[in-house]
Each structure stands twice: as C-alpha cells, then as structure tokens.
Amino acid sequence: MVRSAAERGVTLFDTAEGYGPYTNEGLVGEALQPIRDGVLVATKFGFDINANGETVGLSSRPGHLRKVVEASLRRLRTDHIDVLYQHRVHPDIPMEDVAGTVKELIADGKVRHFGLSEASETSICRAHAVQPVAVIQDHYSLWMREPRSPGPAKGCGSGWSPGVRSARDSSPAASLGT
C-alpha cells in the first residue's frame, strides 16, 4: 500500500517510533527503500517506550534522542531522515537542548530538517532561535476545523503543516516548501 501511494504521486511519508511502536517505521522503510531518493520521510521522537513496547512517558533527553534517531534510521532503511519532529514537547527538557541536539544531527547528515508537533508559540520560537524549525505539525481534523493560526509560526520564520499534507509537485522538496 505504501509503495502504491508513492507510485500514485505521494512524496511525503510521515511515521513515528511510537506507531506500533516501531512497527510502522519498519513497514515504511521496507516499502520505500527501493525508491528512497524519490520521496521524503518524516518521523517523530519524544516518547519513552519500555521493553514491553508500552509508552510510559515522554523523553527528549539529548542522549535518548540520539539513540532514537539511530534506531529510526535502521528501521527506515535509510541514511537520513528528511524531517525529524519532536512528537510532543517535553516539559522537563529545555527546548534549546532538544533543538541543539537536532542541530548536531543535521550537521552529522542524519537529519535534514527539524519539525515540531503540537508545540506552543513559545516552544516554537525557543527552538527556532537555536535551529530553524522547517515544519510545524498541528492538530487538524475534519471534525474540528479550527486549527491554530499559523501566525505564531510565521513570526519565528517557520512553516505550518496541518495534519494532512499532499504534494502538488513531483519534487519531494516541494512537500517541504523548499
């Protein structure tokens, strides 16, 4: 199904370590490995998942984040992640530490762009001051058609991505607005 979507023109695939957990990244990686250069892959970090596969809290500590990225790269069968989102803001970890760690991962070539999911204006701006935030993913539903205004994100220079995205151009970069 994932490969079929790519054959029909979908160029952005969004997953997360927490989906399954881990299972969805493996499925996406397997399906997209042969066509990886023609698509964008986004994944998310930020949960503490125990040995039983249960989400037991949040974790965006720098050391944990690096381990999550290495594991995601293996499951996704790729050498880089196009967009790495913080799935949920961790209230006990300074946003500057999270953004700084992602900045290092970008410098290492493991991540291309930094995104935030369900973040406040303050968190977005604090992160963006350390590492440009390329994409903001916000809750958006057909049942609740009142997403937060993209104004705060624009104030920090970031893009805004409601929950559903589609590429209108055959270029994967068009999905990111680059």
How many other CB atoms sit within 10 Å of the CB of residue 41? 24
- Report the candidate in 39, 45, 40, 1 with the shortest Cα–Cα distance to residue 19: 45
- What dihedral angle (degrees, nearest 10) is formed by the CA atoms of 129, 135, 141, 144? 30
For 135, the enclosing helix (H) or strand (E) is: strand 133-138
- Backbone CA torsion sign across 135, 137, 143, 147: negative
Contact indicator for 13, 1 with CB cutoff of 8 Å: no
Q: Choose, from 19, 22, 85, 140, the residue flagged as catalytic.
A: 19
Residue 140 is among the residues annotated as catalytic for this protein = no
How many other CB atoms sit within 10 Å of the CB of residue 109? 9
For residue 143 the two structure tokens come to 């049942």
Find the DSSP H helices in the chain.
2-7, 23-32, 62-76, 95-107, 121-130, 151-156
Active-site residue set: 19
